[in-house]
Amino acid sequence: MAATLAVIEQYMSLALQPVMRGAHKREDIIRNLDHIAELARAAVWLTSIDLPVRLITIPEGALQGFTDEIFDWDHVDYVKKTAIDIPGKETDYLSDLARDLDTYIIAQAKVTHPAFEERFFNCAFVIDPQGKVIHKHYKMQVFAREHSTVPHDVWDQWLEINGSGLDAFFPVTDTDIGRIGCIICMEGSYPETARGLAMNGAEIVYRPSYPEPYVANGLWEVQNRARALDNTMYIIAPNPGAYCPMPDSPFPIDAFGGNSMIVNYQGQVISNHKSGGAASYAGAIIDIEALRQYRARSLWGNWLKDLRTEQYRLIYDEPIYDQNRCLKTPPLKHAENDKVVAQSIERMYERDIWKLPAYMRKK
């Protein structure tokens, strides 16, 4: 991470809220990209009357949808049919858009990896205004029925390739708009992922998307605000407006509830587009200099400076979830994966971390 010494002037950031269509083959992705580009151009045109737009974020699923999860596709088939390459024609499309709008773009896709044949990963990536992919983050924590491979699934080989430092799991890239890191969807449900980025220097964290009913019942907002407050960082959280599971679905489903938001470094929501169903966006001013001053001067709300790290390591001494599950076999389909989750739950009871509910106790 190279140091950025120049003062970063205030700028506008956007959390796009597109309508996405499930991609059943790789060619379907272009239709989603055309929609994203139209939305981005409209949002920049309207928002740049305030301050220059220097960052556009696109929610998880906006390129491909969640086809493999909904229809329980075979992992290897998805690699062959729908996973994209970085760089590739899809990132080239977004690179052209970034150059045209003179802005950074952060997006997500399910992607191939050169070191892991017949595996795909869930990846967030950053494109700079010159159209170059400057950052990649591979999702580490997934919902039980998501089919993506994560670094923990190929742990031994991942360490051989990437080492065991923070950059191997919590990469942060220094840019002329601030230090950027990424967490994806369920990763934001765990404080450790954002904390790892914070300890690696992150100032702006991209955190897409979350489904209903967990947007409407407040989980999405609570998590985004907590991750920002805990780590004195901005959270930019785009969420889809609506979802068409099939490329030709006549009626979009408001399965995500919108509610795209931007949260400042004190955990305050500074922009929040609460409606779902239609394409839209949230926009807010990012002030990196103010964040840096607050970190330097605050004696109270700047939590990282007070961490007594040794005492927290004890929490993680004993593993809970099996590692290296996908070194030899791909991620499982729903029914088999549910059994793996059940084993992890059982460990919680065996170690007396959780207490059995009454209906599960043996008579």
Question: Minimal CA–CA distance to 12: which of 227, 208, 177, 209?
Answer: 177
Give the C-alpha separation, 153 to 144, whole Å.
13
Report how far residue 104's alpha carbon sits from residue 133's, in angstroms, rounded to the nearest whole number: 10
Residues 249-263 have pLDDT tens digits of 999 999 999 999 999
Is the previous residue joined to 213 through a cis bond, with omega within 30 degrees of 0? yes
In 261-290, which positions are buried (b, 16+ CB within 10 angstroms) versus exposed (e)?
Answer: bbbbbbbebbbbbeebeebbbbbbebbbee
Q: Token pair for residue 351? A: 């170690």
Three-state DSSP at 34 gives helix
pLDDT at position 144, please? 76
- At residue 259, the pLDDT reads 96
The predicted pLDDT at position 61 comes to 97
Whether pLDDT at 167 is above 80: yes
pLDDT > 70? residue 317: yes
Task: Compute the C-alpha angle 245/45/60, nearest 5°.
Answer: 30
Contact assessment for residue 258 and residue 215, using Cβ atoms and an 8 Å cutoff: yes
Report which DSSP code applies to 53. Answer: E
Cα separation of the two ends of the chain = 59
Contact 66, 22 (CB under 8 A): yes
Whether residue 26 has pLDDT greater than 80 = yes
CATH of the domain spanning 11-315, picked from 3.60.110.10, 3.20.20.80, 3.30.70.100, 1.10.3370.10: 3.60.110.10
Would strands 178-182 and 116-127 be described as parallel, antiparallel, or unpaired? unpaired
| Model pLDDT, residue 1 | 53
Structure letter (DSSP) for residue 107: E
Residue type, 259: N
pLDDT band, residue 8 (cuts 50/70/90): very high
The pTM of the full predicted model, rounded to 2 decimals, is 0.96
- Domain boundaries in the chain? 11-315
122: closest CA among 201, 192, 193?
A: 193
Question: For the segment 285-299, what is each residue's pLDDT rounded down to a tens digit?
Answer: 999 999 999 999 999
Residue 329: its pLDDT value, please? 92
pLDDT of 361 strictly over 90: no
Q: What is the pLDDT of residue 327?
A: 93
